[in-house]
Amino acid sequence: MGLVVQKYGGSSVADAEGIKRVAKRIVDTKKQGHEVVVVVSAMGDTTDELIDLAQQVSPIPSGRELDMLLTAGERMSMALLAMAIKNLGVDARSFTGSQAGVITDAVHNKARIIDVTPGRIRSALDEGAIAIVAGFQGVSQDTKDITTLGRGGSDTTAVALAAALDAEVCEIYTDVDGIFTADPRVVKKARKISRISYQEMLELAASGSKVLHLRCVEYARRYDMPVHVRSSFSGLVGTWVTDEPEGDDMEHAIISGVAHDTSEAKITVVGVPDKPGEAAKIFRLVADNEINIDMIVQNVSAASTGRTDISFTLPMSDGQNAMTALTKAQAEIGFESLRYDDQIGKISLVGAGMRSHPGVTAKFFESLTGAGVNIELISTSEIRISVVCRADGVPAAVQAVHTAFGLDDQSGEAVVYGGTGR
């Protein structure tokens, strides 16, 4: 019976009743003989309400102060959860990110964890207590200021603590039953995946699957920490995210799932001088503004003009920042104009099995054509193919691809391909 880290999201602790229900589940785990560390998010819509208040006093709130404000959210949920557990007769202590030793860089609102020193958590466990830790937050190594890890950061806190404490498993409790082959709100016949590799989960998370935060999966893979994604409302087994199956796994599907994302925008930089270093200038500028970009496409240069167009996609929420920064640098970079398009959607097919199945790409494109979807950008990795199309074409496209690859649930039986190995 080892150490278990459990993470509960905001919807699981939205009110007093939810907190009491979660407390009972935690106490049950403790009574099974485990050491238990719990990472908790802010209650329900608290974070959104605080952001709303911030915008009432300042249109562009200071990053440092926004972090100070938002971290009040988990402070409330963790203290209430610790009280509820103590009320069940089991010792519990709450800790802020700083107290739990979550050390980050100083980039407010999207800090990165650079070290975890959970001495106080270890002591609490040694004294027989359950440790409740605020998700999403840390303290900057250099400035000692309070930082937040950005949306979904509580998942990352949980996996980072699990790794630092050498936990047996990191359980991510959420309001769905696990990871699905597609978003069940879009594809009715989406199936729950019982086991998926870190690599595939990374691609799914990067492609728009909302259940696990990308950085959390990166962290889990780096430290080889098994993650069990499951529902806090049912007792069901969810999805295990682990390393890849050893040897030939005859039952491992070629395709894990279809992800989609309509939260990105596309910026096209028109008429960039086609000289070495021009693209680098653009992406250095974007990086310096702490903007993560996703897909990049450079058109073939028109010989007559010596100029080319460069398109890239990025989170819509960073769109305004990027346009402002690029506009300021227009003279220096020497491009002709900018185009901004936030009516795009991205569809991604993910599966470790596609490495050895050359027909996957063709079938993917055929199914998109069948759904009447026009492809605007393409990007591939060894285990993923993504395309950008119009946002309003996304639901039909996802449904068509899901069916074409045999992912639809058929009377409860998971459809699997015979693995050919490699």
Fill in the DSSP letter of residue 369: H
Q: Which residues pair with 267 in a beta bridge?
A: 312, 340
What Cα–Cα distance (Å) separates residue 111 from each residue in 115, 167, 225, 322?
A: 12, 24, 21, 19
Q: What is the smallest separation between the CB atom of 337 and its own copies, expressed in angstroms? A: 33
The reply, when asked if residue 74 is annotated as ligand binding, is: yes
The reply, when asked if residue 174 is annotated as ligand binding, is: yes
Of 132, 129, 128, which Cα lies nearest the Cα of 157? 132
In this complex, which beta carbon is closest to its own copies, that of residue 87 or of residue 420? 87
With contact defined as beta carbons under 8 Å apart, do 170 and 92 qualify?
no
Q: What is the smallest separation between the CB atom of 43 and its own copies, expressed in angstroms? A: 9
Q: Which two tokens stand for residue 282?
A: 């653009």
Q: What is the smallest separation between the CB atom of 392 and its own copies, expressed in angstroms? A: 37
Q: How far apart are CA 114 and CA 78, in angstroms?
A: 23
The reply, when asked if residue 47 is annotated as ligand binding, is: yes
In this complex, which beta carbon is closest to its own copies, that of residue 79 or of residue 338? 79
Question: Rounded to 5 degrees, what are φ and ψ at 347?
Answer: -120, 130
Residues of this chain that interact with its own copies (CB under 8 A) are: 16, 19-20, 23, 50, 53-54, 56-62, 64-66, 68-69, 71-73, 75-76, 78-84, 86-87, 92-94, 99, 120, 144
CB-based burial label for 367 (10 Å; 0-12, 13-18, 19+): buried
Q: What is the smallest separation between the CB atom of 156 and its own copies, expressed in angstroms? A: 22
End-to-end CA distance of the chain: 37
The reply, when asked if residue 152 is annotated as ligand binding, is: no
Q: In 88-147, where does DSSP find H-type helix? A: 119-126
Q: How far apart are CA 95 and CA 118, in angstroms?
A: 10
The set of long-range contacts for 354-360, using a CB threshold of 8 Å and a minimum separation of 24, is 354/254, 354/255, 354/383, 354/384, 354/385, 355/382, 355/383, 355/422, 356/420, 356/421, 356/422, 357/254, 357/420, 360/254, 360/255, 360/385
In this complex, which beta carbon is closest to its own copies, that of residue 69 or of residue 205? 69
In this complex, which beta carbon is closest to its own copies, that of residue 17 or of residue 382? 17
Q: What is the smallest separation between the CB atom of 77 and its own copies, expressed in angstroms? A: 9
Q: What is the smallest separation between the CB atom of 83 and its own copies, expressed in angstroms? A: 4
- CA 286 distance to own-chain centroid: 21
In this complex, which beta carbon is closest to its own copies, that of residue 142 or of residue 413? 142
In this complex, which beta carbon is closest to its own copies, that of residue 88 or of residue 415? 88
Q: Which two tokens stand for residue 122?
A: 């270890």
With contact defined as beta carbons under 8 Å apart, do 59 and 152 qualify?
no
Q: What is the smallest separation between the CB atom of 56 and its own copies, expressed in angstroms? A: 4
Q: What is the smallest separation between the CB atom of 95 and its own copies, expressed in angstroms? A: 9
Fill in the DSSP letter of residue 127: T
Q: Which two tokens stand for residue 353?
A: 């099995």
The reply, when asked if residue 175 is annotated as ligand binding, is: yes
Q: In 207-301, where does DSSP find H-type helix? A: 214-223, 278-288
Pairing of strands 227-231, 169-174: parallel
The reply, when asked if residue 8 is annotated as ligand binding, is: yes
Of 72, 66, 84, which Cα lies nearest the Cα of 132? 84
The reply, when asked if residue 418 is annotated as ligand binding, is: no
In this complex, which beta carbon is closest to its own copies, that of residue 61 or of residue 370? 61
In this complex, which beta carbon is closest to its own copies, that of residue 44 or of residue 393? 44
In this complex, which beta carbon is closest to its own copies, that of residue 23 or of residue 202? 23
Q: What is the smallest separation between the CB atom of 113 and its own copies, expressed in angstroms? A: 21
In this complex, which beta carbon is closest to its own copies, that of residue 87 or of residue 374? 87
What Cα–Cα distance (Å) separates residue 276 from each residue in 162, 273, 307, 317?
A: 45, 9, 12, 30
Q: What is the smallest separation between the CB atom of 215 and its own copies, expressed in angstroms? A: 24
The reply, when asked if residue 9 is annotated as ligand binding, is: yes
The reply, when asked if residue 271 is annotated as ligand binding, is: no
Binding positions are 7-10, 47, 74, 174-175, 185, 210-211
Q: Which residues are annotated as a binding site for substrate?
A: 47, 74
Binding-site residue ranges for ATP = 7-10, 174-175, 185, 210-211
